[in-house]
Amino acid sequence: MLKVDSYIGGRSVQPGSGLYVDKLDPRTAEKMGEVANSDPQDMDFAIDNAHQALPAWRDMRPSERGRVLLELARIVRRSEGRLGALESAETGKPGGEMAALMDLTAQYFEFYAGLVNVMDGEVINQGPNYHVYTRRDPFGVIGVILPWNAPLHQAARAIAPALATGNTVVAKPSEHTSASLVELARIAVEEAGLPAGVFNVIVGKGSVLGPQMARHPLMRKISFTGGISAGQELGRIAAERILPLTLELGGKSANIVFDDADLDAAAKGATRAFTWNSGQWCCAGTRLLVQENIHERFLDKLVAEVAALRVGPQFDATSGPITTRAQFEKVQSYFEVAEREGLKPVIGGKVASGEHLGGGWYIEPTVYAGVHNHMTLAKEEIFGPILCVIPFKDEADALRIANDSEFGLGAGIWSRDIGRVHRVAAGLEVGRIVVNEYSGGFVQTPCGGFKQSGYGREQGIDALSHYTQLKSVIIRL
């Protein structure tokens, strides 16, 4: 049985209340462990530890900080199997997906460990009587609040730049997937040599700990990845405190297939776009816009690809279960919504069944065709393997439909016409566009939203500016 406590100040810390909540296994719906239900005093303790560790870490030369983070990356690579198995067990992700996710986790530490060596301010020429320069200072204690869909990858992309730039961190993983992050913090301190208190993990309910973190006077910035309503609540508290936030929220990304695309590749890509991680992916391509003149032909190819998916607990499954019971129930509720809106699934449309699935939270990958963009199914983020196929006439029509959304996180374009690709990319109101494949991009490419998908950016060089504050020094000589 898994027992997950917080990791604070370089040691495992039980909740002051002594209370734990059950952690259920997504593959069986049975209890697999217990997770600490930390209270506000535990949060105070974590923030105090991070605050005490700050001066020494902040004042270290960047190259020395980088060396520790590189060592952490090396240990993550060495422990890839163990960390991956832990994350796979708590999320239900197919084991075959884990090596790539652990590689990404290590890459964040490698990338920011190196980058911090060349993160300089600039000299601003104001003539011979002045010496003017800028420097980038850390914020201090940074809070990192995380969702459950890709725990270590999402943690690393915020924690690596935060630590590299000299901040200390209190991370709050989802209460559904805390074990892998606690283990990452432990190896960071106990094996990689990160000073105790620099990277702390507090485990418990977000509705209690999140607001408490934002209200704490020593908290200087929060990076939040999660849903809109928790993001809004944090935003209200942050407004009171003038607390800087990075908000990485949800999406309803359009994946646009033009008639000149490689339709076989597009059908494969469009399938992965909405079924990777069982659709529990912020950038999932869940509105598939298909040009009218290829609509029927393309739908046949798409359905053939979806029919070939392997849903289940096995190592090489293409889709695992939904990670939480509440999310499993939420995804099912959209089958009723679709029926009320007069939609019938072309494939899927129910909970997946079969002996090998036990009592797990599996959903059949589902495609609805003939969807209108104003329907609930096309407007709301479902966070499950449900796809809406929406026909369009031409380029202008595709852009109009794609941009007619409150979200603006990601998009895909499938076309061999390079002029069209650039025109459409310029017109899309989203933070990241992938062309002729549908992937999560790279550690080096910025990720973040337009509109209600959030603000601020993670990943890439630009993230460094979100974990530092710019200071000007003006010297009269």
Residues recognised as catalytic? 149, 248, 282, 458
In Å, what is the CA distance from 192 to each residue of 202, 225, 417?
A: 20, 26, 49
Least CB distance to ligand NAD at residue 202 (A): 10
User: Looking at 98, 163, 219, 230, which residue binds ligand NAD (CB under 6 A)?
Assistant: 230
Nearer to ligand NAD among residue 138 and residue 250 (C-beta): 250
Taking the CB of residue 465, how many other CB atoms lie within 10 A of it?
15
Name the nearest CA neighbour of 366 among 263, 463, 284: 284
If one asks whether residue 269 binds ligand NAD (CB under 6 A), the answer comes out as: no
Nearer to ligand NAD among residue 258 and residue 407 (C-beta): 407
Q: Is 242 helix (H, G, I), strand (E, B) or coil?
A: coil
Least CB distance to ligand NAD at residue 457 (A): 10
Which two tokens mark 349? 């449309």
Nearer to ligand NAD among residue 37 and residue 415 (C-beta): 37
If one asks whether residue 358 binds ligand NAD (CB under 6 A), the answer comes out as: no
Least CB distance to ligand NAD at residue 156 (A): 13
**Which x/- pattern, by CB under 6 A, does the window 421-450 give for ligand NAD?**
--------------------------x-x-
CA 438 to chain centre: 16
Least CB distance to ligand NAD at residue 393 (A): 30
**Which x/- pattern, by CB under 6 A, does the window 148-167 give for ligand NAD?**
xx----x-------------
- Residue 318's contacts (CB-CB under 8 Å, 6 or more residues apart) are 94, 275, 309, 310, 311
If one asks whether residue 210 binds ligand NAD (CB under 6 A), the answer comes out as: yes
If one asks whether residue 285 binds ligand NAD (CB under 6 A), the answer comes out as: no
Least CB distance to ligand NAD at residue 250 (A): 3
- The full DSSP string for 282-326 is TT-EEEEEEEGGGHHHHHHHHHHHHHT--BSSSTT-SB---SSHH
Name the nearest CA neighbour of 200 among 32, 358, 314, 42: 42
Contact 292, 369 (CB under 8 A): no
Q: Is 75 helix (H, G, I), strand (E, B) or coil?
A: helix
* C-alpha distance across the termini of the chain, in Å: 66
**Number of chain residues interacting with ligand NAD (CB under 6 A):** 30
Contact 425, 89 (CB under 8 A): no
Nearer to ligand NAD among residue 188 and residue 222 (C-beta): 222
Chain positions 378 to 397 lying near ligand NAD, rule: CB under 6 A, are 381, 383
Which two tokens mark 379? 């407007």
Which two tokens mark 9? 């100040």
Dihedral, CA of residue 55, residue 56, residue 58 and residue 62, to nearest 10? 170
If one asks whether residue 174 binds ligand NAD (CB under 6 A), the answer comes out as: yes
If one asks whether residue 456 binds ligand NAD (CB under 6 A), the answer comes out as: no
| Helix, strand, coil distribution of the chain in percent, nearest 5 | 40, 25, 35
Rounded to whole angstroms, the Cα distance separating 305 from 302 reads 5
User: Looking at 44, 233, 259, 395, which residue binds ligand NAD (CB under 6 A)?
Assistant: 233
Sheet holding 468-476, edge to edge: 123-124, 130-138, 468-476
User: Looking at 76, 89, 160, 249, which residue binds ligand NAD (CB under 6 A)?
Assistant: 249
Q: Of 158-166, 230-238, 334-342, 388-396, which part binds ligand NAD (CB under 6 A)? A: 230-238
The length of the chain in residues reads 477
Which residue's entry shows tokens 């007069």? 342
If one asks whether residue 175 binds ligand NAD (CB under 6 A), the answer comes out as: yes
Rounded to whole angstroms, the Cα distance separating 37 from 441 reads 35
If one asks whether residue 104 binds ligand NAD (CB under 6 A), the answer comes out as: no
Least CB distance to ligand NAD at residue 181 (A): 10
User: Looking at 36, 89, 256, 282, which residue binds ligand NAD (CB under 6 A)?
Assistant: 282
> Half-sphere exposure of 249 toward its Cβ, with a 13 Å CA cutoff?
26
User: Looking at 5, 248, 305, 364, which residue binds ligand NAD (CB under 6 A)?
Assistant: 248
User: Looking at 223, 225, 277, 286, which residue binds ligand NAD (CB under 6 A)?
Assistant: 225
Q: Of 9-17, 223-231, 308-316, 466-474, which part binds ligand NAD (CB under 6 A)? A: 223-231
Nearer to ligand NAD among residue 149 and residue 271 (C-beta): 149
Chain positions 15 to 54 lying near ligand NAD, rule: CB under 6 A, are none
Nearer to ligand NAD among residue 319 and residue 327 (C-beta): 327
Q: Is 104 helix (H, G, I), strand (E, B) or coil?
A: helix
Least CB distance to ligand NAD at residue 367 (A): 20
Q: Of 17-25, 66-74, 226-234, 468-476, which part binds ligand NAD (CB under 6 A)? A: 226-234
User: Looking at 207, 314, 376, 439, which residue binds ligand NAD (CB under 6 A)?
Assistant: 207
Which two tokens mark 367? 């495609």
Q: Is 256 helix (H, G, I), strand (E, B) or coil?
A: strand
Contact 270, 369 (CB under 8 A): no
Site residues for ligand NAD per CB under 6 A: 145-149, 154, 172, 174-175, 206-207, 210-211, 225-227, 230, 233-234, 248-251, 282, 381, 383, 409, 447, 449, 454
